[in-house]
Amino acid sequence: METERPRQKPIDLFFETYIMNDTQISPNVFYFTGILFILFAFLVDSPTMIWNGFWEIMVSPSSLITDYFEVGGIGATFVNAGIVLLFSTYYVQRYTNGLTGPLSAALFTILGFAFFGKNLFNTLPIMLGTVFYSHFVGENHNRALLTSLFATALGPIVSLISFSQNLPLYYAIPLAYGVGILIGFIITPVASAFLRFHQGYNLYNIGFTAGVIGMLLISTMRAFNWEVDIDNAHYFKPSIAVNVFFILYNLLLIGLGWFGNRHVKASYRNLMNETGVLISDFVQSHSAGLALINAGVLGLMSMGYVFLVGGVINGPVIGGILTVVGFGLFGKHPRNVTPVVAGVFITQLFMHTDSPGSTASLLAALFGTTVAPIAGTFGPLAGLIAGALHATLVQFIGIVHAGVNLYNNGFTGGFVAATLAPIFDMLKERKANHASRKEKN
């Protein structure tokens, strides 16, 4: 006779049903986040300012680095981010109920980039293109969801064609949407092929793919004398309200994670022993609660780094922080990101460019953690080298796609990983062979 399972407390049952279970995060977490961001917007700005700023964001060219704080204001940017997240969460929920690490990371990333480059106008056609692709090949669209969300990295190409070519809107917008749909249609098979290029050591694989596609599109536009050079916008005023909001939000993630992990009691030490090589889904392999704790810890560490080097938490920096948070569910943890950030920082001290506290330098440090699996696999010294190489390469590589690929660090990380991983693999194999021969003797 089977023994009855102990009855769950109402709070535990509610949490498991509506927030997370052991191996999945509920979409409700992201619905709540979207609403929270929108409510915060109305605490810092008036409805009129938000409304006017929101439409400025919609018609912005949105290429790297276009800080929506500068374009539309803080309140309008938070509204844009909240709306983009709410729509993206609904879109994902149409095809899947629970969220694992990769999809959660994608939603946090799309939230982050809604602070500097993504909006509903320029992301919709790319998502639609991936839906058409799924129907064309006869696959369930849930297999392309991850690519669909990350592919919105090329959203600025839609805005660029729509609003920066002096074309009539009745002509420019359909053309831009056609290009966006085409991007969404082709990016899934192209991304699968490019994954082999860096062997999974670059976490932002779609960023590398988007960089190649963006390079081809911009080269074509330049060949036909289309305008592709856009002035970037930066916001440099610190906001105590924004800083406090994100500190509290990361603490909220840690609190939710602790509550979700208290019965599972998954070990944080075991999580930090992961290499992070794609595909490392911490939600599935450890627990949803522990993965959220890791995400919140990485968020606080990222903010701490920004404050330490004298940076300002503006739109792009928030994008970097939220992306690190998201990939705390999908490949990153303190042990494999710290050497990379250290490598970027040390290199920037000797470079004749911006200081480590500038927005561009901060983005290199935060997004440079895309190559964290190198540190996780080959050790801290390898991570330092990867961070150093990333810092030097990322400041120049954006020229080839003119900023239409928002995941410029993912593009850079692909080249860094593809260059260093085979070298470190060879050295690791040689060391193992030497140890084997020594043991035999």
Per the model's pLDDT, the better-predicted residue between 324 and 96 turns out to be 324
Hey, what amino acid is at 184? Answer: G
- Return the structure tokens found at 386: 């990867």
Please check whether residues 162 and 302 belong to one and the same domain.
Answer: no
Residue 29 maps to a domain: yes
Hey, what amino acid is at 156? Answer: P
Residue 228 maps to a domain: no
Per the model's pLDDT, the better-predicted residue between 279 and 5 turns out to be 279
Residue 244 maps to a domain: no
What count of other Cβ atoms lies within 10 Å of the Cβ of residue 398? 21
The pLDDT tens digits for 143-190 are 889 999 999 999 999 999 998 888 888 999 999 999 999 999 999 888
Residue 74 maps to a domain: yes
Which of 220-234, 258-272, 325-339 is most confident?
325-339
Please name which of 194, 199, 201 lies closest in space to residue 215, comparing C-alpha atoms: 194
The pLDDT tens digits for 397-419 are 878 887 788 888 888 888 898 89
Please check whether residues 91 and 213 belong to one and the same domain.
Answer: yes
Tell me 233's DSSP state: B
Rg (CA), the chain: 22
pLDDT value at position 2? 42
pLDDT value at position 1? 37
Residue 3 maps to a domain: no
- Average the pLDDT over 16-35 and give the result: 91
Please check whether residues 200 and 285 belong to one and the same domain.
Answer: no
- Return the structure tokens found at 378: 């080959």
- Average the pLDDT over 367-380 and give the result: 92
Task: Name, in order, each residue with C-beta under 8 angstroms of 433's C-beta and a sequence gap of 6 or more.
Answer: none
Task: Single out the residue in 173, 207, 223 at which a domain terminates.
Answer: 223
pLDDT value at position 309? 95
Please check whether residues 408 and 270 belong to one and the same domain.
Answer: yes
d(CA 35, CA 116): 19
Please check whether residues 186 and 327 belong to one and the same domain.
Answer: no
Question: Strand, helix or coil at 371?
Answer: helix
Q: Are the C-beta atoms of residues 126 and 151 closer than 8 Å to each other? A: yes
C-alpha 178: how far from its chain's center? 25
The count of structural domains within the chain is 2
Tell me 309's DSSP state: T
Please check whether residues 96 and 168 belong to one and the same domain.
Answer: yes
Please check whether residues 156 and 85 belong to one and the same domain.
Answer: yes
Per the model's pLDDT, the better-predicted residue between 250 and 19 turns out to be 250
pLDDT value at position 150? 93
Please check whether residues 305 and 392 belong to one and the same domain.
Answer: yes
**SS (HEC) of 14-75:** HHHHHCECCCCECCHHHHHHHHHHHHHHHHHCCHHHHHHHHHHHHCCCCCCCECHHHHHCHH
Residue 21 maps to a domain: yes
Please check whether residues 85 and 153 belong to one and the same domain.
Answer: yes
pLDDT at position 43 over 90: yes
Question: Strand, helix or coil at 99?
Answer: strand
> What average pLDDT does the structure give for the chain?
89
- When pLDDT is cut at 50, 70 and 90, the band that residue 229 belongs to is low
Please check whether residues 219 and 260 belong to one and the same domain.
Answer: no
Q: Are the C-beta atoms of residues 257 and 296 closer than 8 Å to each other? A: yes
pLDDT value at position 6? 54
- Return the structure tokens found at 214: 């963006």
pLDDT value at position 199? 76
pLDDT value at position 436? 67
Domain that holds residue 131: 15-223
- The residue written with tokens 């979409």 in the block is 27
pLDDT value at position 247? 97
d(CA 191, CA 377): 23
- Return the structure tokens found at 396: 């120049």
Residue 7 maps to a domain: no
Q: Give 393-415 as a DSSP string.
A: HHHHHGGGGTT--S-HHHHHHHH
Please check whether residues 216 and 348 belong to one and the same domain.
Answer: no
pLDDT value at position 14? 81
d(CA 201, CA 262): 32
The helix or strand, by DSSP H or E, that contains position 183, with its residue range, turns out to be helix 169-198
Residue 8 maps to a domain: no
Task: Single out the residue in 208, 223, 238 at which a domain terminates.
Answer: 223
Q: What percent of the chain has pLDDT over 70?
A: 96
pLDDT at position 313 over 80: yes
d(CA 108, CA 25): 13
Q: Are the C-beta atoms of residues 88 and 314 closer than 8 Å to each other? A: no
Outline where 59-154 has alpha helix (H).
68-72, 74-93, 101-113, 120-137, 145-150
- The residue written with tokens 């539309």 in the block is 72
Per the model's pLDDT, the better-predicted residue between 213 and 266 turns out to be 213
- When pLDDT is cut at 50, 70 and 90, the band that residue 266 belongs to is confident
pLDDT at position 356 over 70: yes
Please check whether residues 217 and 270 belong to one and the same domain.
Answer: no
